[in-house]
């Protein structure tokens, strides 16, 4: 995912057949890429940069294979900054020890959303009442307490709470862990203790938090509606998951979404648009097929396209509000949580901050 595009000087490329050079890196920023590998990206200062020179002489971005490795590297002063992928218990530990070690702590809102996708091309998730029952059973405050130790916030739309267009539509429609409402939907869908709903929840096996969230959901659902829902948990490696997601293999899946740019469209279009399909067949080709929900609605697709073209702020806001209402009417996804961003830096680091887009402005960093 990229937060935007950058200009490229005309002298760096040619237009014409065979002139495209996808393996040639062109940069006009304060750094130049000097090394890239599986666990390291090295940026050197671009001496030809047209703007103000960076406050540092270049930097290394180290990629760790696990949250534990990043956690230990920061605690032993092997890295200057630890950001993203830390588990909740590791974050809590670093926050507790920050004052003693003079570590700097940055806490910021995040635009990364986490949600449960429901595969409408597979029985019994093609039944709207089944999807509504699942939405009613999700207890977001419990997830925040048990899984994230308060380091997240409940999410009730596919839009992050940081957007002014955000409306907590799922909270209003389904609440949190509303067992009675779920029982009514399950009964309407033909499920009972004699015929319980089989609910298979998939998650990324390498994600500690997703695995814990899945286990918490399993215990919570079976406690709320004992005998009515039989939950099965399945973990799979991320590369395999995303390779198979669009093939309709998974009935439900806990996923997250990192925005491509800072606008509501990056949450609307990928979740609700489809290029080919019908309301009878579902999405055959397009965004919702690739995302594993196979959701298709002619009305919703029209609204998605309209909000992309609408230049009037209030008119576009009204369209986005209508789209959020469609989520609770059709329930192709169930929003779960939105994590807070935590980053830690060593005492010697100056100029570190997290942007609303979750970017770090490298050129402002320096060490004293």
CATH number for 32: 3.40.190.10
Mean pLDDT (the chain, rounded):
93
Q: Are residues 240 and 182 in the same domain?
A: yes
Q: Are residues 45 and 189 in the same domain?
A: no
262-291 pLDDT, tens digit per residue, is 899 999 999 999 999 999 999 999 999 999
Q: Are residues 142 and 54 in the same domain?
A: no
pLDDT bin (cut points 50, 70, 90) of residue 1 is: very low
Q: Are residues 320 and 362 in the same domain?
A: no
Q: Are residues 227 and 181 in the same domain?
A: yes
List phi, psi (to 5°) of 117. -90, 140
Q: What is the CATH number of the domain that holds 222?
A: 3.10.105.10
Dist. CA 180–CA 46, nearest whole Å: 62
Distance of CA 163 to the CA centre of its chain: 15
pTM for the complete prediction?
Answer: 0.81
Angle (nearest 5°) at CA 79 between 1 and 5: 20
Rg of the chain (C-alpha set): 23
Mean pLDDT of 95-103: 95
**Alpha-helical segments (H) within the chain:** 67-75, 88-101, 128-137, 140-146, 169-174, 179-188, 208-224, 238-244, 265-272, 287-290, 298-309, 313-330
Give residue 75's domain range: 24-109+342-367
Tally of domains within the chain:
2
Residue 228 confidence (pLDDT) above 80: yes
Q: Are residues 313 and 350 in the same domain?
A: no
Cβ contacts of 320-323, under 8 Å, gap ≥ 24: 320/159, 320/165, 320/264, 320/268, 321/165, 321/167, 323/268, 323/272
Q: Are residues 158 and 185 in the same domain?
A: yes
Quick check: is 56 in a domain?
yes
Dist. CA 324–CA 158, nearest whole Å: 8
Q: Are residues 236 and 89 in the same domain?
A: no
Q: Are residues 172 and 197 in the same domain?
A: yes
Given this model, what pLDDT does residue 15 score? 84
Quick check: is 153 in a domain?
yes
């Amino acid at each position: 995912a990229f937060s935007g595009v950058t200009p490229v000087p005309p002298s760096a490329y040619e237009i014409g057949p065979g002139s495209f050079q996808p393996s040639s890196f062109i940069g006009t920023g304060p750094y130049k890429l000097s090394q890239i590998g599986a666990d390291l990206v090295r940026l050197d200062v671009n001496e030809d940069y047209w703007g103000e020179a960076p406050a540092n002489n270049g930097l290394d971005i180290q990629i760790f294979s696990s949250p534990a490795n990043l956690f230990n590297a920061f605690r032993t002063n092997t890295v200057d900054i630890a950001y993203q992928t830390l588990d909740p218990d590791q974050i809590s530990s670093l926050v507790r020890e920050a004052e003693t070690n003079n570590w700097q702590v940055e806490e910021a809102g995040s635009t990364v959303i986490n949600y449960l996708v429901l595969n409408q091309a597979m029985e019994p998730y093609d039944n709207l009442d089944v999807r509504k029952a699942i939405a009613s059973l999700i207890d977001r405050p419990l997830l925040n307490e048990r899984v994230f130790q308060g380091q997240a916030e409940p999410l009730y739309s596919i839009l992050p709470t940081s957007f002014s267009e955000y409306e907590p539509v799922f909270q209003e429609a389904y609440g949190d862990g509303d067992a009675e409402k779920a029982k009514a939907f399950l009964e309407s869908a033909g499920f009972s203790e004699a015929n319980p709903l089989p609910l298979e929840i998939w998650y990324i096996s390498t994600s500690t938090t997703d695995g814990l969230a899945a286990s918490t959901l399993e215990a919570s659902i079976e406690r709320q509606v004992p005998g009515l829902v039989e939950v099965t948990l399945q973990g799979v490696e991320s590369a395999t998951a995303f390779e198979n997601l669009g093939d309709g293999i998974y009935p439900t899946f806990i996923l997250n979404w990192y925005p491509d740019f800072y606008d509501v469209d990056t949450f609307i279009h990928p979740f609700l648009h489809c290029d080919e399909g019908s309301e009878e067949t579902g999405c055959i080709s397009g965004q919702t097929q690739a995302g594993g929900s196979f959701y298709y609605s002619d009305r919703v697709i029209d609204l998605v396209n309209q909000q992309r073209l609408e230049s009037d702020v209030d008119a576009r806001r009204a369209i986005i509000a209508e789209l959020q209402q469609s989520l609770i009417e059709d329930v192709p996804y169930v929003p779960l949580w939105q994590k807070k961003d935590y980053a830690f830096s060593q005492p010697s680091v100056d100029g570190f901050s997290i942007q609303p887009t979750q970017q770090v402005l490298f050129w402002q960093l320096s060490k004293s």
